[in-house]
Structure 1
Amino acid sequence: MTATPPRRVTATTNEDDFNLGRDESRAVRRRSLRLLGNLLAPHKKPLLVAVLLVVTSTVGQVAGPALVAVTIDQAIPALLDRGDAGPLATFGALYIVAAVAGGLAAGAYIRQAARIAQGVMLDLRRRVFRQTQRLSLEFHETYTSGRVISRQTSDMEALRELLDGGLTGVVSSMFLMVFVAGSLVILDWRSALVLAAAFVPALILTRWFQKRSQVFYREQRTASARLIVKFVETMTGMRAVQAFRRESTTERDFGALSDAYREANLKTFGLNGRYQPGLLLIGNVTVTAALAIGAWRVLEGGMEVGVLAAALLYIKRFFMPIQQIGMFYNAFQSAAAALEKVSGLLAEEPTVVEPQRPEALPHARGDLRLDHVRFAYGDGPVVLPDLDLHIPAGQTIALVGTTGAGKSTLAKLVTRFYDASEGRVLLDGIDIRDISTQDLRRAVVMVTQEAYLFSGSVRENIALGRPDASQEDIEAAARAVGAHEFIMRMPDGYDTDVNKRGGRVSAGQRQLLSFARAFLADPAVLVLDEATSSLDIPGERLVQHGLQTLLADRTAIIIAHRLSTVAIADRVLVMAHGRVVEDGSPDELIAGDGRFAALHAAWQDSLV
């Protein structure tokens, strides 16, 4: 059964996520939490060890004030009244043991948390990279490269900062607050009431901070992403920027985005500048109130001096974690906004899906049929209204027509970068939606006018489709398309790094290398989409013989405006408005009085 393309899930990956409605925001948060839970699931045992370590560390810290109280109220009087130094030595030793145990446990906890954090980040980076490769061409044609880069760079960095340091501090701070409050209740419940009264304004201030920082940090992440997108687009299109003298315009736009990013950062810093001093004020007032009430109780005989000292230490320690939580909450908000965007990317579903029960096609012949195919890009206008076409195995056809006639769309359907809205595309009688991606990519190869070379040697770029190819096979493919000679003139021949000085190649040479790459892959069907557009006249003539040799006994679809390239085809299809309006051999159509004959005549005149 033919796999049915799923309805696309449009994830919330827009840079303006902070403008979402309440229901959508909740859905996004739930999605982010599910992702976080899924990432942490493999680390359950290490997380349990981390919890035990942080508890041990917190107990060691909380034990200190209690031992101070006992030392002041019992050990020192025993030494002064009876000359008994035993209690002082005992409690002093316990204090040292608690401090050492707490410190060692804290260090072990930090290391354990770092291992967990790095494991989570490794998994997440791999997921994002795997997802961007898994998604269909439709996604990459609508989702800008700058936004994808932002997901893998600035968003990942925000998450790393939280997991590496912020989360460690938040967890230990929360444990410390709980243990301190509990210890103070046990030690002296009246002092605990003073702390509880002070906790109310601290909680109100923290809640105020949370609400505003959530908005500010989302704005900051959005401004950062827009800045990265603009930078990537400008660097990628630098040739056009300089050619059309748009440096001042792009600089002005980048400056405006940089200023927006600066303003977003200033908002967060201003918020911190009110929150942290506010907490410090509440903490100092609370310590002052506890000291005044405690001193009065000591004078009245209702409280011992050691208990007062311990209560003041506990209250002071209670507010220190709140300040740390406030500081770490900044990183948390930044990471939460980043996690929402990353989870949105991971929630995207490809529009071209792998068949559940693929039919095997180990050796394709190359017989193609488009069976009443109808296609439109998303909700846009229909590009191919009803295309019915048969291309026998081994035949070379050329597609010609005006821009927008549907030529490249037909190529994308044959290569299954998109699926037909209606109808079927058949390869050797099998619907290509029922063929595994691996078999289909081995059988059908497409060469476009954007000849992309990856970092590495010339040899590695040619062998992209067949990494195990021998040097002889690589050289044979290069010779066939006329690339061997210029490769041998490069500094290191086939070992030349194409991205290093001396290894730079022209647009035409890049196209020849992409031809060699495609021919080495030896597909049953070869699609050339404007693949000769970067070649000059001598280069094109050089390639013609190679094309004729290598297209023999292979199904080929050539999309070209240059009629010299079309001349090697067995059959020419003239397209207009998504329909085939002329079909025949080049000589037949030239001899007629249709569109192709007019195009050929105009081309001949241009040569003269």
Structure 2
Amino acid sequence: MSVLTSEAFGVETTREESRRIRRRSLGLLRSLLRPVAGAAWATAALVVGSQLAAVAGPALVAYGIDQALPALTAGDAQPITLATAAYLAAALLGGLLTAATVRASARVSQTMLLDLRRRVFRHTQRLSLEFHETYTSGRIISRQTSDVDALRELLDGGVTTLASGVLAMLFTAVSLVLLDWRSGLVLLIAVVPGVVLTRWFQVRSQVQYRKQRTAAARLIVRFVETMTGIRAVQAFRREPQVGGVYGGLAEDYRETNARSIRLNGVFDTGLTLIGNVTVAAVLLVGGLRALDGALEVGVLVAAVLYARRFFNPLQQIGMFYNSFQSATAALEKVASLLAEEPTVPEPLHPARLVHARGDVRFEDVEFGYGTGPTVLPQIDLHVPAGQSIALVGETGAGKSTIAKLLARFYDVRAGAVRLDGLDLREIDPVDLRRAVVMVTQEAYLFSGSVGANIALGKPEATPAEIEAAARAVGVHDLIVSMPDGYATEVDKRGVRLSAGQRQLVSFARAFLADPALLILDEATSSLDVPGEALVQLGLQTLLAGRTSVVIAHRLSTVMGSDRVLVIEGGRIVEDGSPDALVAAGGRFADLHTDWQRSLRRST
């Protein structure tokens, strides 16, 4: 009994989850449609007009054959002239309305897609670091590219195709029934196998197209990850293995596409067969009645034209379902991304921090990543304004975690981190980012000039201020030696600069930002010995007069700090000046001894 109850509960949970996903997707679609509702209704009116114009053609042909031609033989040319003019006018009007529909539909769809792309980009920027550390870049790129493209295919022509197809079938059926109900009955009977075939296609294409979207996403993610890590791939000669994995994913994608094409082929062939049989049946039944004089020849011709016209939209509707399934899956993924909430929310009533001093306090801080185990069991720490502290310890001890909490990339589970007496969770985000700057090991440079990358710390900076910042950290001479000086372009991630040069540029960026609290997380790890010697002078200028937290394995960087904290298991086990800790003979003294020994060996 308990097993059955559990299974029933699981089914109910799955259904509720499906309903929740559907409501979320529809909510996103409604929010995208709301700003273009007027234009969408105007497009719908154009669709109705174009289909009414198109459906008038066979009826005018029937009138021309059965009424206008006999009148012409009797010497009256007015009916045939009117029928011809009306047919040409309907054809011209239908063409103009169809062209207007395409343009109006494109304006609506492109406006919606522009809104969606902006939303995805703004939202992913707003999400916290925790999200970006768990949600791969390949998946985000897939949301912005393949998923939005799937929606584009649906909105650009799919919706108008569906509306046009449904209206065309409805108007055609009504017109044929009004013209000759017996021929209309034959047509309606033929609809049954057409609907059955369409439903068969829909059920199978739904599964197939979800597989296709999944295979496409996996292929994109693998490609992005490989290109991002291409240095590691080439360094370890993993090209054949990586190529084999990618080839397997590409083959899976090819096979899913092939199955979709085969499925489409069966559907197209079956629908064409049903349409041809229907036309033959209408022609046979109507022809026999025409021979007996029970049906006019013009009505028979119109009935055949309507029968031929009826099944073309059904094929379009079936094909629309493919785009619809693909777009539905894409909409669910995009809506899921937009439903992600920042784990570091902005304060409801932000407190201003106009003139930050840099006084830092950790009060009974407890922290762990997500729902994982506690990383920092309890931290109590006071860093007076202007003091420079260094955090040392083994990898995984919690040093970088402390730095991330200081920068408010994460929020604490318990306790509080305060800057100048204010809880970081209450400070205005703009003021916090102005007061706290973190320089990491990566030293990311964006595409653009060297000067523009330095100015990232202060976008309104003048060229003189940018140069002063570069001089302060000792990177000016390097920059002016480049082909275009400060205007020298760097590639993505700054690949035209060495790792040490990129780090120096990031120091200049931090100096220009002039924060009250500066965090250096392994910021000197990319420097070679000459580069380290060069940057030490720059660091003295960079750290002077401001609170700083330095995380470094190189004790040459640590020894210049006012205070050293040794972190072990998320706890502070030693705290004091570098000289005092060396004299005390503890863990830091051991690190200092090892460092001195390595220096003697290098000389």
Normalised by the length of structure 2, the TM-score is: 0.95
For 1:370, what is the secondary structure of its paired residue? strand
Determine which of 26, 40, 64 is the counterpart of 1:47.
Answer: 40
> Are 1:247 and 2:239 an aligned pair?
yes
> Are 1:435 and 2:427 an aligned pair?
yes
Would the aligned equivalents of 2:446 and 2:494 in 1 still touch at CA under 8 Å?
A: no
Matches within 5 A, 1:280-319: 280-319=272-311
Residue type of the alignment partner of 2:378: D
Q: Distance in 1 between matches of 2:212 and 2:473?
A: 51
Would the aligned equivalents of 1:67 and 1:95 in 2 still touch at CA under 8 Å?
A: yes
Matches within 5 A, 1:179-258: 179-258=171-250
> Are 1:76 and 2:76 an aligned pair?
no
For 2:489, what is the secondary structure of its paired residue? coil
Q: Distance in 2 between matches of 1:49 and 1:479?
A: 61
Note the C-alpha offset of 1:308: 1.4
Residue type of the alignment partner of 2:56: A
Note the C-alpha offset of 1:436: 1.8
Residue type of the alignment partner of 1:67: L
| Equivalent residue, structure 1, for 2:52 | 59
Note the C-alpha offset of 1:503: 8.2
Q: Distance in 1 between matches of 2:356 and 2:173?
A: 73
Would the aligned equivalents of 1:366 and 1:427 in 2 still touch at CA under 8 Å?
A: yes
Residue type of the alignment partner of 1:298: A
1:342-395: per-residue Cα shift (whole Å, max 9, x none)?
111111111110111101111111111111110111121110001111111111
| Equivalent residue, structure 1, for 2:111 | 119
Would the aligned equivalents of 2:438 and 2:519 in 1 still touch at CA under 8 Å?
A: yes
Would the aligned equivalents of 2:142 and 2:221 in 1 still touch at CA under 8 Å?
A: yes
1:144-200: per-residue Cα shift (whole Å, max 9, x none)?
111111111111222222222333322222221121112122212222211111111
Q: Distance in 1 between matches of 2:400 and 2:430?
A: 22
Q: Distance in 2 between matches of 1:534 and 1:579?
A: 27
Determine which of 145, 148, 154 is the counterpart of 2:140.
Answer: 148
Would the aligned equivalents of 1:373 and 1:422 in 2 still touch at CA under 8 Å?
A: yes
1:192-219: per-residue Cα shift (whole Å, max 9, x none)?
2111111111111111111111111111
Determine which of 290, 313, 318 is the counterpart of 1:326.
Answer: 318
Residue type of the alignment partner of 1:178: L
Note the C-alpha offset of 1:93: 0.7
Determine which of 574, 577, 585 is the counterpart of 2:569.
Answer: 577
1:250-299: per-residue Cα shift (whole Å, max 9, x none)?
01000000001001101110110110111111111111111111112222
C-alpha change, 1:224 and 1:455, in structure 2 (3 Å) is: same
| Equivalent residue, structure 2, for 1:4 | none
| Equivalent residue, structure 1, for 2:518 | 526
Determine which of 471, 482, 495 is the counterpart of 1:479.
Answer: 471
Would the aligned equivalents of 2:138 and 2:221 in 1 still touch at CA under 8 Å?
A: yes
C-alpha change, 1:87 and 1:288, in structure 2 (3 Å) is: same
| Equivalent residue, structure 2, for 1:425 | 417
Note the C-alpha offset of 1:515: 0.6
> Are 1:491 and 2:495 an aligned pair?
no
| Equivalent residue, structure 2, for 1:17 | none
Residue type of the alignment partner of 1:511: Q
For 2:90, what is the secondary structure of its paired residue? helix
For 2:560, what is the secondary structure of its paired residue? coil
Would the aligned equivalents of 1:490 and 1:503 in 2 still touch at CA under 8 Å?
A: no
| Equivalent residue, structure 1, for 2:559 | 567
- Comparing 502-511 and 581-590, the one that deviates more: 502-511
Residue type of the alignment partner of 2:555: L
Determine which of 541, 546, 557 is the counterpart of 2:549.
Answer: 557
> Are 1:335 and 2:298 an aligned pair?
no
Residue type of the alignment partner of 1:66: A
Would the aligned equivalents of 2:363 and 2:379 in 1 still touch at CA under 8 Å?
A: yes
Would the aligned equivalents of 2:555 and 2:592 in 1 still touch at CA under 8 Å?
A: yes
C-alpha change, 1:547 and 1:207, in structure 2 (3 Å) is: same
> Percentage identity across aligned positions?
66
Note the C-alpha offset of 1:489: 0.8
Q: Distance in 1 between matches of 2:385 and 2:444?
A: 28
> Are 1:31 and 2:52 an aligned pair?
no
Note the C-alpha offset of 1:245: 1.3
Note the C-alpha offset of 1:23: 4.3
| Equivalent residue, structure 2, for 1:394 | 386
Determine which of 447, 453, 474 is the counterpart of 2:445.
Answer: 453
| Equivalent residue, structure 1, for 2:7 | none
For 1:464, what is the secondary structure of its paired residue? helix
Q: Distance in 2 between matches of 1:347 and 1:187?
A: 53
Would the aligned equivalents of 2:445 and 2:494 in 1 still touch at CA under 8 Å?
A: no
Q: Distance in 2 between matches of 1:248 and 1:502?
A: 28
Note the C-alpha offset of 1:332: 2.3
Would the aligned equivalents of 1:496 and 1:503 in 2 still touch at CA under 8 Å?
A: no
1:105-145: per-residue Cα shift (whole Å, max 9, x none)?
11011000011111111111101111110110011000111
Q: Distance in 1 between matches of 2:492 and 2:510?
A: 23
Unaligned 5+ segments in structure 2 are 1-12
Would the aligned equivalents of 1:491 and 1:503 in 2 still touch at CA under 8 Å?
A: no
| Equivalent residue, structure 1, for 2:578 | 586
Would the aligned equivalents of 2:566 and 2:587 in 1 still touch at CA under 8 Å?
A: yes
Note the C-alpha offset of 1:500: 8.9
Q: Distance in 2 between matches of 1:271 and 1:309?
A: 34
Q: Using CA pairs under 8 Å that are at least 6 residues apart, name the structure with larger relative contact order, 1 or 2.
A: 1
- Comparing 584-593 and 299-308, the one that deviates more: 299-308
Q: Distance in 2 between matches of 1:51 and 1:447?
A: 54
Q: Distance in 1 between matches of 2:493 and 2:254?
A: 37
| Equivalent residue, structure 2, for 1:6 | none
C-alpha change, 1:91 and 1:39, in structure 2 (3 Å) is: same
C-alpha change, 1:142 and 1:543, in structure 2 (3 Å) is: same
Residue type of the alignment partner of 2:176: L
> Are 1:595 and 2:587 an aligned pair?
yes
Q: Distance in 1 between matches of 2:492 and 2:483?
A: 11
Q: Distance in 1 between matches of 2:233 and 2:580?
A: 45
Q: Distance in 1 between matches of 2:407 and 2:29?
A: 36
Q: Distance in 2 between matches of 1:500 and 1:199?
A: 58
C-alpha change, 1:224 and 1:368, in structure 2 (3 Å) is: same
For 1:124, what is the secondary structure of its paired residue? helix
Q: Distance in 1 between matches of 2:591 and 2:129?
A: 32
C-alpha change, 1:36 and 1:256, in structure 2 (3 Å) is: same
C-alpha change, 1:503 and 1:330, in structure 2 (3 Å) is: closer
Q: Distance in 1 between matches of 2:345 and 2:493?
A: 41
Would the aligned equivalents of 2:392 and 2:399 in 1 still touch at CA under 8 Å?
A: yes
C-alpha change, 1:131 and 1:58, in structure 2 (3 Å) is: same
Q: Distance in 1 between matches of 2:563 and 2:264?
A: 71
For 1:153, what is the secondary structure of its paired residue? helix
Q: CA RMSD in A?
A: 1.5
| Equivalent residue, structure 2, for 1:605 | 597
Would the aligned equivalents of 1:491 and 1:502 in 2 still touch at CA under 8 Å?
A: no
Q: Distance in 1 between matches of 2:172 and 2:495?
A: 66
For 2:544, what is the secondary structure of its paired residue? coil
Q: Distance in 2 between matches of 1:502 and 1:527?
A: 22
Normalised by the length of structure 1, the TM-score is: 0.95
